[in-house]
Amino acid sequence: MNVEEVVKVVLESSDPGKATEEGLKKIPSKYLEKPMVVSVGKASIRMYQAFVRRVEPWKSIVVTSKGTINSKEVGADVIIEAGHPYPNEGSYKAGKTILEEVRKGGYSSFIFLLSGGSSSMMEWSDRLSLEEMIDLNRKLVKSGLSIDEVNTVRKHVSSIKGGRLGIEAKAPVFTLVLSDVVGGDVSSVGSGPTVPDPTTSMDALDIMRSINIEEKFLNAVSETPKELPNSKAWIVLDIKGVLRQVKERIGGTILSSCVRGEARDFGYLLSSIFNASRERREPFKPPFTLIAGGEPEVKVEGESGKGGRNGEVCLSFAKYARGEYQLFAIATDGIDGNSEYTGCYVNSSMSFDTREISYSLRRHSSYELLERDGKKESSVIKTGPTGTNINNVYILYAP
């Protein structure tokens, strides 16, 4: 399989435009006469552009990550560049601006276009300063907690997450979600600003105490709304939908759409499945293509280098795989970890030293090894930000 072709298939399967247009059909037309639309996240621009192809907004706000937009091309009333993976001044500006506009009313409906990255791009708290919120988010992101656990905490320390924004709305709320959360929990995407929150303040406190979060943050926790009768939400595209489209185009077997846990552990598991299939022709008989997706975690302790979850999946797989293979690991948002890469590609002709792999995994510096061109051919994939965000896709081909 060709790297460029695989990347094209994955990114086309992750296109938020068509999914958003289909999602709009779920909203009764009477609510589209004078809608206020707010689009937040890594796919905010493409979702907003899809929206205005179908509906003229009464008022519009778009929040995206810094350096990814040409404001003249977006055309929204308000455009804010905010922080990711940690909130910044733009994030607090976005949260406060949106909250004030929602409270004003005057709209026939509040349509919220939500995609991955929103948790950091839109934030506001009347209990924590921006500096404190940044500090807390750094601790959470680096802790090794699952994204669901991280978002549980975020909901309970924020003044707009966990349904708090939705409860302020003066008209029906309709949320179209481009989900980057494994398992399909709509309340976890962007920490669920406009939907009821099934988690509790005790859940948040237990999670925070498990990683020794300081008392000042524990004191900022409060309960979230458990019912929002004026709010409806739909996932318009998630990793399961992406994998189905990838399978339709390249064939193969979907191994899992719920990849979680440590990234390196998923690489080891994938190599064990591959090795067993090559040696004993079970559980898969060569040739085969395996497709998987999800959001494995990387727990960083101490210093780290340039790395990402996809880099660790590829290196841990390459360390133990025996036989001919091609493995692609692609972040649909175009950015893996703290690197500039979308992901990576390794095959059986690349000769990585196992000791170097072990060192890179210990230091979380996977791309410092991978960008050495894989000895024979480039093993890093670079697209830049893609304007979408639906987890990571892994494709393993065994001839």
pLDDT digits (tens, 9 = 90+) for 30-62: 999 999 999 999 999 999 999 999 999 999 999
> Above 60 in pLDDT, residue 64?
yes
Kindly tell me the sign of the dihedral angle through the C-alpha atoms of 283, 289, 294, 296: positive
Which CATH number is associated with domain 240-398? 3.40.1480.10
Kindly tell me the sign of the dihedral angle through the C-alpha atoms of 190, 193, 194, 195: positive
100 pLDDT tier (thresholds 50, 70, 90): very high
Find the angle CA(357)-CA(359)-CA(365) to the nearest 5 degrees: 85
Contact between 45 and 68 under an 8 Å Cβ cutoff? The reply is: yes
- 226-281 pLDDT, tens per residue? 999 999 999 999 999 999 999 999 999 999 999 988 999 999 999 999 999 999 99
68 pLDDT tier (thresholds 50, 70, 90): low
Joined together, the tokens standing for residue 20 give 């958003």
- Rounded CA-CA distance 42/121 in Å is 9
- Rounded CA-CA distance 130/203 in Å is 23
Pairing label, strands 35-40, 109-115: parallel
- Rounded CA-CA distance 388/180 in Å is 9
- Spell out the residues 6+ positions from residue 79 whose beta carbon is closer than 8 angstroms to its own: 61, 62, 63, 64, 69, 71
Q: Show me where the domains of the chain are located.
A: 33-237, 240-398
Q: Across 187-305, where does the E strand assignment appear?
A: 231-237, 253-259, 288-294
The half-sphere exposure of 93 on its side-chain side, counting CA atoms within 13 A, is 13
pTM reported for the whole predicted model:
0.89
Q: Across the chain, where does the E strand assignment appear?
A: 35-40, 59-65, 78-82, 109-115, 173-178, 231-237, 253-259, 288-294, 326-331, 343-347, 380-381, 392-398
Gyration radius (Cα) of the chain, Å:
21
- 291-308 pLDDT, tens per residue? 999 999 888 877 789 999
Computed over every residue of the chain, the mean pLDDT equals 93
- Spell out the residues 6+ positions from residue 280 whose beta carbon is closer than 8 angstroms to its own: none
- 321-377 pLDDT, tens per residue? 999 999 999 999 999 999 999 999 999 988 889 999 999 999 999 999 998 754 545
Share of the chain above pLDDT 90, in %: 84
What's the CATH superfamily of 33-237?
Answer: Glycerate kinase, MOFRL-like N-terminal domain (3.40.50.10180)
Instruction: Give the per-residue pLDDT at 303.
Output: 76
